Chain A
Amino acid sequence: MTALAPELSDVHAVVEQVWSSFLGDEEPLLPQYDASGPLPADDVWSAAVSIHGGWAGTVTIELSATLAQNLTRLMLAMDDEPLDDADVADAVGELVNMVGGNIKSLMPGPSTLTLPYVAAGRAAHASDTTEVARLDAAWVGEPVRVSVHTTS
């Protein structure tokens, strides 16, 4: 049986909309169609939200630490002030919250969205989950991956 999954084009549209609204259009988010394997970065942040109810799944964002710090500075309108991990965790968590909330709205409901959980490091997925959609992209040369998992 094939798990009900959001269309990749919808995931792409949601991510694009969130990205351009909060990070501007000056530097576009560029799809990387040849991406495979782990996110190509040594230092990574990740964040996830889960959806429970009419549709169940997990939406995860992984991005390089450089990208995470750059987007945090943009979202907080900061210049060169020092950033602490709490700021980065807040910004990355809010990013996945927006993407996850919009994907939830595309899927059958009613359902609930968890608060985001954020980690300084790669995301780990439970062994009984299946990846049903993945968007790999780059922003100012730094990698970001959005994936959707459902329970198999």
Chain B
Amino acid sequence: MSKILVADDSRVMRQIVVRTLRQAGYGGHEIVEAENGREALDKALAEAPDLILSDWNMPEMNGIDCLTTLRAGGNQTPFGFVTSEGSEDMRARATAAGASFLIAKPFTAETFDEALRGLL
């Protein structure tokens, strides 16, 4: 069973992401949650998830700083953003930092399936 870390400062959105994972056929995986980028960084290192799904805009540490810190430390866990901001500028920044994908909110189960296929 793979482990997925879901990072978002909104409990509502974490629940929606977990529900959408289930609808997309990824319901059998263990879910670990984080409320901000700092907690996501700590759990990424402590829990060794197989995939990280992270919001971009969060208190304490944002998602892009979390990703950059992970990559700078040699951690190559697949990392995808689930964020309300899907501009070309942000997609380019995400890719440059080492993200596998960026899913813009609102999303569907199909969007998740397309993004996650082959990563788990």
A-side residues, CB < 8 A to B, are 17-18, 21-22, 72, 75-77, 87, 90-91, 93-94, 97-98, 100-102, 104-105, 109-110, 113, 115
Contacts and interface: CB of A to CB of B under 8 A. Distances in A.
B10 A90 contact: yes
Interface of B: 9-13, 15-16, 19, 57-59, 83-87, 89, 104-108
Contact of A18 (B15, B59, B106): B106
Contacts of A109: 87, 89
Nearest to B93: A110
Contact of B9 (A87, A102, A110, A115): A115
A90 B85 contact: no
B59 to A, nearest CB: 6
A94 to B, nearest CB: 5
A72 B85 CA distance: 22
6 contacts: A17-B106, A75-B12, A94-B12, A104-B85, A105-B85, A110-B89
Contacts, number: 64
B107 A101 contact: no
A93 B59 CA distance: 14
B36 to A, nearest CB: 11
Contacts of B15: 75-77
Nearest to B87: A105
Contacts of B108: 21
Of B9, B12, B16, B107, the most chain A CB neighbours within 10 A belong to B12
Contacts of A104: 85, 87
B86 A105 contact: yes
Contacts of A18: 105-106
